[in-house]
Amino acid sequence: MRTILIIFCALLPMAVLAQKERQLQEVTVIASRTTNNAEGYTTNLRGTDITKGKPAVDVLTFLPNISRENGNFKINGLAASEIYVDGVKLSDLSELNNIPGEMIDKVQVKYLAGSDQNASLSGGTIMITLRRPPEGGYYGSISANADWYRSCGFGNEGISGMINYRYKGLSVYDNLYAGATKVEDNSEQTMTGDNLHTFLTESSKSHGFDFRNRLSLTQQFNSGAQLGGSYLVSLFRPRPSSVSDNEGLVSSVSSRENIVLQEGTLRFSQPLSSRGSQMELTADYLNRHSRNNSSYFFNSEKTASIEETNNLNLWKFKADFIYPRSRSLVWKFGASAQFISSKYTPTDIVENDRFETSDIPTKTSGFTPIVYASAQGRFWKLKYSAGVNWQLNRISYENCSVDKKSTNTQWSINPTVQVMMPFGSKMDHALMFSYKRTLSDIPYTAISSVINWSDTYNYTVGNPDLKAQSADIVMAGLSLLRNKINLTALYAHSHDRIYWQTFQSEETPDVFYTKPVNINGQGVWGFGAEWMEAPTKWWRFKLSGRIEITPENTKLDGIHYNKTRFKEYFYFNNNFRFGHGWGGMLNANFEPTYRTLDRTYHAVYNVNGQIYKTFLGDNLQVALDFTPLGNRRKLDRQAGANKVSYKYTSPVQYVGFSLTWNFSGGKKVDVNVVDGIQDYHETKDNK
């Protein structure tokens, strides 16, 4: 912590010098902050209270139809597929923690992924545009933070910074974070069955170092063409460990992980005519390399160990063309191709019957081409966006130990239709209807033979026989009083759904594992409502709720699940803005107990907030984040006649301190950035 504070103090005078070049701020007159279109809405946030004193990650939860659940953003109940900041596609949400909310100009929200995107993406897109920098061409922030947890004391100290800058036609964007991580969780497990009754306590700890930096350079030419490049590097070195006590029998697993992720992107755009026709070409390469050394102990004796190396390469090439046919019709078409190559190599294996490890070296390759066309326009009061894409998923899995290779190919034609019609004397209400068909990505992480132990009694393993799942989604919505009141309804039907089923180990009866399997299709209904209001000048709130209704008709491990299940969410977000630089927020959420097939997720709730104070013309900010109340998750799983219950017992209380300096100066310019076009994600059990 002392080292981080020294670095922050060294950087602070540089920011102060930059701040001396102060100019008059821009004055923007906004007739309406929110405008609706066929794909969603765009809202102008410049000068609003919800951006004050908080990072961008907290600002988004106050916008219409957006919620944050378990650290992930959802739009109308569907997981957001992509989040951009000035064209930079974020690889993780921690980049949003580096961006002060006051720097946001506007946010565009698309309810569903478009036909130009991968058909695996169903949820919409959040596109954040930062405000233009003042005279001189740069602005940014420098922050330092430290957290205290009731469960483990101080942890997660870090420094971060971002800057936007332009010199003539060159735009520069940089986002940096470096910090130490520390996590500690305690839990209890109960395993019961015909010949099984086990109760154990568990303590899981992890500490490590995290570094991430994204640099983007874009050159604007007089002809209107742009050439840009972006480079992202992320280093993560966690040291997780887990100790389980089963009535005096102590077992543990400890690991040393080293993960390096790099992504490089080149993009070229060229106007093709004076009417607005445009071409954009993008090439992207992503590499994720990890090395993991794990050791397994039973009663302090080392019984098993393994060293694992994973290397993943993704290449993607994309070409997009825009052709404005008229003022009321714009065509967009293009194609892309993605290549995937991964390799898993286990070495230095010490085997033991108690701890299952993977000794199978594997290779995986995949090819996903996409061709699409779409049209967007307006007819009378009706705004529409319609498109279709053709996508093929081809995946090959090779067991290198026996030279056995299998290949699976799936293809699909995926239409997307979205319409919106405003109504009312002031056109401040709107009706929305959407339809989309999806084909999930190749689940290359879920087919791997890698065995991951979450503790000494539970692990997960992949399934090389998986198929990519598909789904049809229909959504309808009603917006009243310019998004003050929003009602949504959704129906989705999945095919070849991937589900993580729980199994009992044949060798060790009190060890259980989950494995992804394809099950029959299933439909789900969803209904949501939210109310946004500002009762006073200093208080603004957002009250929302959502329910999902799932009629089950699936057989797992000989048990037929045929009941109708209900899953509910409730949120109450409050933003406060007082005088003299004081402000804050107080948020609460509640998720009642719900069941899905062989699992029961017990009720959880959480109350969290923030208090901040700004100084020196709002340039220096001191903030205190806190969580005073909460209930951790308890999960029950059924494996045949056996029941496994897992309950987190660590307290949720937490206090975080942060110090932020905002600086700006120079001429008013636009900052252009280049974004990566690929995602690394894992299909995993979300226990």
Q: Give the SS3 label for residue 547.
A: strand
The pLDDT confidence band at residue 11, using thresholds 50, 70 and 90, is very low
What is the arithmetic mean of pLDDT over 83-100?
79
Average of pLDDT values for 590-606?
95
* AA identity, residue 247: E
Q: Which domains does the chain have, with CATH numbers?
A: 2-665 (2.40.170.20)
Structure token pair of residue 640: 């045949």
In degrees rounded to 5, what are phi and psi of residue 103?
Answer: -85, -5
Residue 329 makes CB contacts below 8 A (sequence gap 6+) with: 375, 376, 377
Contact of 195 with 245, CB cutoff 8 Å? no
Per-residue pLDDT band for 24 (boundaries 50, 70, 90) equals very low
Which residues, 6 or more positions from 446, have their beta carbon under 8 angstroms from its beta carbon? 462, 463, 466, 498, 516, 682, 683, 684
- Whether 8 shows a pLDDT value over 80: the answer reads no
Determine the pLDDT at residue 106.
Answer: 93
Pairing of strands 512-519, 497-504: antiparallel
Token output for 161: 């910074």
- Are the C-beta atoms of 265 and 296 separated by less than 8 Å? no
> Cβ(179)–Cβ(4) under 8 Å?
yes
Q: Which region among 8-12, 277-281, 494-498 has the lowest average model confidence (pLDDT)? A: 8-12
> By three-state DSSP, how is residue 18 classified?
helix
Q: What is the model's pLDDT at position 84?
A: 84
Instruction: Tell me if 232 sits within 8 A of 189, measured CB to CB.
Output: no
User: Alpha-carbon distance 334 to 320, whole Å?
Assistant: 4
Cα–Cα dist 674/283, whole Å: 11
Mean predicted lDDT score pLDDT of the chain? 86
Tokens standing for 319? 């070409």
* Residue range 455-486, pLDDT digits in tens: 889 999 888 888 878 889 999 999 999 889 99
What pLDDT, on the 0 to 100 scale, is given for residue 652?
Answer: 93
Confidence at residue 278, expressed as pLDDT on a 0 to 100 scale: 95
Q: What is the mean pLDDT of residues 148-171?
A: 88
How far is it, in rounded angstroms, from Cα 561 to Cα 552? 6
Nearest by Cα to 304 from 348, 346, 246, 249: 348
Which SS3 state, helix, strand or coil, does residue 557 take? coil
Q: What pLDDT sits at residue 20? A: 37
Identity of residue 361:
P
pLDDT for the residue 33: 79
Helix (H, G, I), strand (E, B) or coil at 556: strand
Mean per-residue pLDDT for 389-417? 88
Cβ burial of 195 (10 Å; 0-12, 13-18, 19+) is: exposed
Length of the chain: 687
Residue 95: its H or E element:
helix 94-97
Mean pLDDT of 40-65: 90
Provide the 10 A C-beta neighbour count for residue 325: 12
- Whether 632 and 650 have beta carbons less than 8 Å apart is answered as yes
Q: In the structure encoding, which two tokens stand for residue 98, read together?
A: 């580096």
User: Does residue 228 contact residue 173 with C-beta atoms inside 8 Å?
Assistant: no
Q: What is the pLDDT of residue 682?
A: 52
More confident residue, 296 or 465: 296
Across 37-122, where does the E strand assignment appear? 40-44, 66-69, 72-75, 78-79, 82-85, 88-89, 104-112
